[in-house]
Structure 1
């Protein structure tokens, strides 16, 4: 069972697609969101959750004070579950409704307007490196100047090509078989020095 961990919708239960997705574990979500709150990266943020699965990452951000959330999920059954979870979270926390886009990620990025301040990308473990890197390249123009991009992949996977997308990697953390990469626009003030977050 997956639940919203903290914020206005804390405890809200989220359904998880029965197949085709890989929900981020509670332990990883807790660690990730603790770090994001320490960086003051959630409150008021415009959030984009790519390969949303159940929508848990984007909806957690909404519960914790994000201004808006776009959830992108290609699979029709999964997108239906994301919509249901978005409604549950909105009702539980008295929050604005997250926008759910039933679309493949790359076409969505090519038509999206942005800007986004916080982006989660949790592609399927079997996605080809070239496709993942093409997503990052399409994402880069949609980012605000001090945006954060978090990519989740298997630890054994190839690291994303942030440099090729004009992004700069500044943190990498392993959680068992999972790795989270943190990046920002290459011309941004270094995250460790930024006082605006």
Structure 2
């Protein structure tokens, strides 16, 4: 597991010990960032189920301006901090140990909306739609925000969540990626490009 591209390209990332955390594979991560980036310019990122921190760190490496990492697992929080140091992007990051729902309420106090949101919970959790809706309700999503939900292919999420519209749905094995973009409420006429070779898309 490594940083795929950007200023920290090639730097290895440590995994969380045990089997409670399922890191996004390099193959899926590379495909994901080709769809939402591939590079950024100062965006504010939220990695709500951080795990190893791989998604948020990849975004920072590719030009995002800052990132908030949240995980309830103390071992994961420690690994996130170590990976941030290894990638030399710790100065752009805040790391919190907290439950996702509680973290959303606490983040509201900061009053700063996020441009890019990663929701990659354990596959047993299927409430990312309600979490994204709450982030929007609490003013934590920027006007043109992108939200990425990583989930089991057996789990179905709606095409619209609040003002977020799903623009891509792709699968790699048992891993599915749903990409949502904030809209003004009107249906989008955007046509998404083909998913990179190796995945399936609907």
| TM-score, structure 1 as length reference | 0.85
1:37 Cα deviation after fit: 2.2
For residues 125-183 of structure 1, give each alpha carbon's deviation from its aligned partner in whole angstroms, at most 9, with x where no partner exists: 001x3x43331222112111001001000101132x46353321121111121111111
Give the aligned partner of residue 136 of structure 1.
132
| RMSD, matched Cα | 2.1
Structure number having the greater helix percentage: 1
Q: Deviations over 1:76-110 (max 9, x none)?
A: 1111111111111126xxx7332111111111111
What does 1:75-94 align with in structure 2 at a 5 Å threshold?
A: 75-90=73-88
Equivalent in the alignment of 2:195 = none
| 2:100 pairs with 1:100 | no
Corresponding position of 2:115: 117
Which residue of structure 2 lines up, in the alignment, with residue 154 of structure 1? Answer: 152
Consecutive unaligned residues in structure 1, runs of 5 or more: none
Q: Which runs of 5 or more residues in structure 2 are unaligned? A: 192-202
Q: Which residue does the alignment assign to 1:165?
A: 162
1:69 counterpart residue number: 67
Provide the rounded CA distance (Å) in 1 between the counterparts of 2:62 and 2:106: 28
On the 8 A contact 2:65/2:92 being kept in 1, the answer is: no
Q: What is the match of residue 184 of structure 1?
A: 181
Indicate conservation of the 8 Å contact 2:149/2:179, yes or no.
yes
8 Å CA contact 1:47, 1:58 repeated in 2:
yes
2:82 and 2:159 mapped to 1: Cα distance?
33
- Matched positions, count: 184
- Residue 188 to residue 44, structure 1, CA distance change in 2 (3 Å): farther
Whole-Å separation in 2 of the counterparts to 1:47 and 1:105: 15
Distance 1:179 1:134 in 2: 18
User: What residue in structure 2 maps to residue 58 of structure 1?
Assistant: 56
Q: Which contiguous aligned blocks of 4+ residues in structure 1 show a shift greater than 3 angstroms?
A: 161-166, 188-193
TM-score (norm 2): 0.83
